[in-house]
A and B are shown apart, each in its own frame.
Chain A
Amino acid sequence: MSGTAVVLITTFLASAVEAIEMVTIVVGVGATRGWRSTLIGAVAGFAVLTVVVVVVGAALTAIPIGALRFIVGALLLVFGLQWFRKGVVRVAARGLAGIGEAESGEAERWRGRGIDWTAFVLAFKGVILEGLEVAFIVVTFGATANQYGAAVIGGVSAILLVGAVGLVAHPLVTQIPRSFLQLIVGVMLTTFGTFWALEGLGVEWPASDGAIVALLALYALTAFAYTTIERRRVYAVNGATS
């Protein structure tokens, strides 16, 4: 598989994980409070994310590749491990279930004129909070792999796809197995984080880029083993309490 394809798949899946929650929040707010202010809030959120991607992306090009790989690798490693851990716990507990419906918090429909600031802020915050981590992953992943265009295409296409599904058939979005996707992305980020962080420190991997495949296999097996152990623990706890 080429480097471009790996970057596309990783950023697409990472963005899909957060886009599911993002779209669920925006569609939930739009359906209850009204669409106009909700969509303006969502667009404003995406505008801020675009600025973040451009500014951080430009800043990263000024860092030497060795230091960039170490910094980005270390950050992706700690962040990827968190998704890895959450993915194991959630898949063990809920299997391939989706996230369910989001609570909009302010269910009353807006009847006034002008902007409904509640809907605007809820949609804006939903996009920013769910999108900031993905924006960071897309930018750093793209810059470190020297595949900035592929990373942005992967991230944006996932948000557009999940957004389109959310607008046309909202319940479908809540059925996507987000926890399983999160586990897959956690494994991929941990793999690339380990590889880049150590390369940045001056380590020479055996088999060069082939080490990525070995790391991926090791972490995928780890995910399978820990999910199986965690599932047994969950069943044991549930069996003891029921």
Chain B
Amino acid sequence: MGRLGSGIVGFGRFWYDFIIGSDPLMAVAVAAGLLATAILVRSGLNAWWLMPPLVVSTLGVSLRRAGRSV
């Protein structure tokens, strides 16, 4: 692989680590939560209450999964 190829791979790895990181569950949960919020807002609900508890519970599940895998 040339320098350009390894540069592209490195750039892709940076964004994967930045967005997905060590537990894909959190990125998936955030994406699902934002999508659900967008749908609720579109239907006229001011859904500010959805994401904060989702963030807290997702973090708890992720930590629990990490603990089990040790």
Contacts and interface: CB of A to CB of B under 8 A. Distances in A.
Q: How large is the interface on A (under 10, 10 to 19, 20 to 34, 35 or more residues)?
A: 35 or more
Contacts of A202: 41
Contact of B19 (A75, A206, A215): A75
Contacts of B66: 85, 89
A211 interface: yes
Contacts of A205: 48
Nearest to B19: A78
B9 to A, nearest CB: 14
A84 interface: yes
Contact of A222 (B47, B48, B59): B59
Given A74-B34, A75-B19, A201-B38, A206 B48 contact: yes
A230 B67 contact: yes
Contacts of B48: 198, 203-206, 211
A88 B46 contact: no
Main secondary structure of the interface of A (DSSP, over half): helix
Contacts, number: 80
Interface string B42-69: 0000111001100110111011001100
Q: How large is the interface on B (under 10, 10 to 19, 20 to 34, 35 or more residues)?
A: 20 to 34
A136 B18 contact: yes
Contacts of A146: none
Interface of B: 14, 18-23, 26-27, 30-31, 34, 37-38, 41, 46-48, 51-52, 55-56, 58-60, 62-63, 66-67, 70
Interface of A: 74-75, 77-79, 81-82, 84-86, 88-89, 132-133, 136, 190, 194, 197-198, 201-206, 211, 215, 218-219, 222, 226, 229-230, 233, 237
